[in-house]
Amino acid sequence: AEPGPGAVHVPDWLAPARQRALVEACRAWARPPAGLRTVHLPGGGTMTARQVCLGWHWYPYGYARTAVDGDGAPVKPMPAWLADLGRTAVRAAFPDGGTAAYGADGTTAYGVGGTAHDDGAPVPAYDIALINFYGADARMGMHRDSDEQSTAPVVSLSLGDTCVFRFGTTESRGRPYTDIELRSGDLMVFGGPSRLAYHGVPKVYADTAPPGLGLAGRLNITLRVSGLGG
């Protein structure tokens, strides 16, 4: 299913055991040092979703190697298995690769460790994971993700409570937009023209996580290519 050009939704992509393993991994990453933190916005507000980063630390609006707006500790490494999961996800969402997924400059966009598929399509070298935790009242306002210096697709994995994901245009944070529900185990990949689209999470439905998952709330893992080099 495609909510917009280059945006692909694969419901139920993660098997239950895989979801449980990812939740457990997130619990470990959330612990200090450089663990789960509240993000303070330059305008004085705070994000209601709390966040932990792997590989590179995101702060509004840039990337650093230490938790500059947290405890200052070095950011935890991006595990190779998680980068591999990102590549597998892009292949699942875009079986044919090509410009639909990667944009017109897809052959050169990835840099840093990107290698070719057997069919010649480039493979993004995911070096960032941003993990957002949403309690029942958390939301994320409409925004664009433009702090990465790469056009590689963003991979999004949802765990726990169902949310409303709002997908807009590249032009403005307002209408038109498409609202879709993201459930535990869903994959979304944002490539090509969707990479710089406005998007947000206006609503999380409390107590909708799969009973066996052991998670109260929602976790979202986004995998990104920084384009920042070593």
Q: What residues make contact with ligand MD3 under the rule CB under 6 A? A: 130, 132, 140, 145, 154, 156, 188, 190, 194-195, 197, 199, 201, 220, 222
In the bound state with ligand MD3, the residue whose beta carbon lies nearer, of 26 and 197, is: 197
Residues forming beta bridges with residue 181, ordered by sequence position? 164
Minimum distance between the CB of residue 193 and ligand MD3, rounded to whole angstroms?
Answer: 10
Q: How is residue 164 written in tokens?
A: 């409303």
In the bound state with Fe ion, the residue whose beta carbon lies nearer, of 48 and 107, is: 48
Contact (CB, 8 A) for 205 and 163:
yes
Beta strands of 46-198 (E only): which ranges? Answer: 50-54, 57-59, 62-64, 115-116, 122-123, 128-134, 140-143, 154-160, 163-167, 178-182, 187-190
Minimum distance between the CB of residue 118 and Fe ion, rounded to whole angstroms?
Answer: 31
Q: Which of 145, 193, 196, 205 binds Fe ion (CB under 5 A)?
A: 145
Applying CB under 5 A, the site for Fe ion has a residue count of 1
Q: Which of ligand MD3, Fe ion, none is residue 188 near (CB under 5 to 8 Å by kind)? A: ligand MD3
- Report how far apart, in Å, the C-alpha atoms of 163 and of each of 69, 139, 177, 192 are: 27, 9, 16, 24
Minimum distance between the CB of residue 121 and ligand MD3, rounded to whole angstroms?
Answer: 20
Minimum distance between the CB of residue 222 and ligand MD3, rounded to whole angstroms?
Answer: 5
Q: Which of Fe ion, ligand MD3, none is residue 213 near (CB under 5 to 8 Å by kind)? A: none
Residue type, 218: R
Q: How is residue 221 written in tokens?
A: 């893992």
Q: How far is it, in rounded angstroms, from Cα 217 to Cα 207?
A: 7
Q: Which of Fe ion, ligand MD3, none is residue 147 near (CB under 5 to 8 Å by kind)? A: none
Q: How is residue 165 written in tokens?
A: 């994901």
147 is a contact residue toward Fe ion (CB under 5 A): no
